Structure 1
Amino acid sequence: MKIIATIEARMTSSRLPGKVLLNAAGKPMLEHLVNRLRAVPSLDKIVLATTINETDDVLEKFAKSKGISCYRGSENDVMTRVIGAAESVDAEVVVEITGDCPIIDPQIVEQTIRIFITNQADYVSNSHIRSYPDGMDTQVFLLETLKRSASITKDALDHEHVTLHIRNHPELFSKINLVAPHEIDWPELGLTLDEPKDYELLKNIIEYFEPINPLFSCLDVVNLLKKRPDWVAINKEVTRKGDT
């Protein structure tokens, strides 16, 4: 099966505009993410799924400069955008990644893909029930499964959040959720790029590891941050979308 990763990204983030191109260790955050996905053995291709807005022309140029595919679609109907991105490269299996996960662990992505391939579930993820640090989020499903979901629901929220309908309807779609091993079980840790404080922390982490190990793992980060509570405190008060 042809397995592709879609990266959802746009420049008009309400909380941190242009966040995916912010610099760390001489590279945009999005480039760090692309490099990490290139280290995932099972992936055949990477597609940047951005919008048709003029503000995202720069992301299309980025994709071309890095030799990855680019698909442009609706800003709000992200489900349809992901479907279009996957169809544009004849994907069968979709590995959905968001652009705000610049230090995602390639080993975790690979493990999620392998769990999907070796089981009969419609949907496999490590974020539906959170145990991994926020920012390691990986979702894997057949393109046909997402298209079936899209054909059933017309709800705007479902189409904005891509797999929300799949996750909310266990009677229609079977699911497997990966649980983090004890050594990296830290669901409260924010390693996602939402706000300026997140950028400060992620930049610190990337620039610490870049000279010694650019493809540092989630475990590497956890071990580092256990020794640096001052870094953990940087974005501890950031409220995530969906938090209650």
Structure 2
Amino acid sequence: MKTVAIVQARMGSTRLPGKVLKDIGGRTMLARVIERTSRSKLIDRIVVATTTESVDEPVVAESTNLKVPIFRGSQEDVLDRYYRAAEEQDADPIVRITSDCPLVDPEVIDQVLALYRREMPDYASNVITRTFPLGLDVEVLSRDALARAWRLATKPFERAHVTPFIYQRPDRFRLAALRADQDYSKYRWTVDTPEDLEFVRAVYACLGVDGHFGWREILSLVEREPTLAAINRGVRQKALEEG
């Protein structure tokens, strides 16, 4: 069994089409996610999980260019895509990363993995109780938990978002939550709109296009330069049920 990070990525996006391949400091957003995830000390392998649709051929091409294994599966049933990718990779546990988080922090990934290894829950994350900025999301789940969700989840948003069936049922799954030292959830560091992309590009421009900076440095930057955080402050995060 291997600890495998599965990064879901596709070209479709209602608010920012093709966002996964948008340029951030000379590299695609997908490349930024992969390079930051690869700095984790506890992940054995990274896989990009995209769809079988022809529109996602550019995702396959970029993943190949990055020398990252690819799994292709259902467009809408992302839970099925994850389950089958995990089976193919003999992954346990699975680390869920999304391609719209180009500021994901390898240290946070390892903190969630350390929590998982210490407590051995079905599911561990820093999103059950959100205290980290949106965009640092890391979820770790056992293959058994993923298989149970795959078999039992029926609601469209549970299939589309992979893990709600698990973390919304603490009576059926053992959960573990990583919390920050204080509540930073007001910060939005994910990419779903042009304003989000503008913000992330500004962060890389300020802290270095090599990407060798952590979330604490980003925090210091936005606290020092509040105009940066204002770029995408008005963006509304979509509810899970909205897709």
Could you tell me whether the CA contact under 8 Å between 2:25 and 2:204 is conserved in 1?
yes
Identity over aligned pairs, percent: 32
Could you tell me whether the CA contact under 8 Å between 1:47 and 1:86 is conserved in 2?
no
Equivalence for 1:229:
226
SS in 1 for 2:231: helix
Consecutive unaligned residues in structure 2, runs of 5 or more: none
Q: Does 1:216 align with 2:210?
A: no
> In 1, Cα distance between the equivalents of 2:32 and 2:161?
24
Could you tell me whether the CA contact under 8 Å between 1:10 and 1:51 is conserved in 2?
yes
Equivalence for 2:104:
104
Q: 1:100-135 CA deviation, whole Å, 9 max, x = no partner? A: 101101000011011101113111000121110000
Q: Does 1:175 align with 2:203?
A: no
Equivalence for 1:199:
197
Amino acid at match of 2:153: T
Could you tell me whether the CA contact under 8 Å between 2:83 and 2:150 is conserved in 1?
no
TM-score by length of 2: 0.96
Consecutive unaligned residues in structure 1, runs of 5 or more: none
Superposition RMSD in Å = 1.4
Q: Does 1:24 align with 2:24?
A: yes
SS in 2 for 1:103: coil
> In 2, Cα distance between the equivalents of 1:2 and 1:218?
27
C-alpha displacement at 1:98, in angstroms?
0.7
Instruction: Count residues in correspondence.
Output: 241
Equivalent positions of 1:8-19 (< 5 A) are 8-19=8-19
Equivalence for 2:71:
71
TM-score by length of 1: 0.95
Q: 1:173-227 CA deviation, whole Å, 9 max, x = no partner? A: 0101111123xx310110000100000000000122225x622111000000001
Amino acid at match of 2:217: D
Equivalence for 2:117:
117
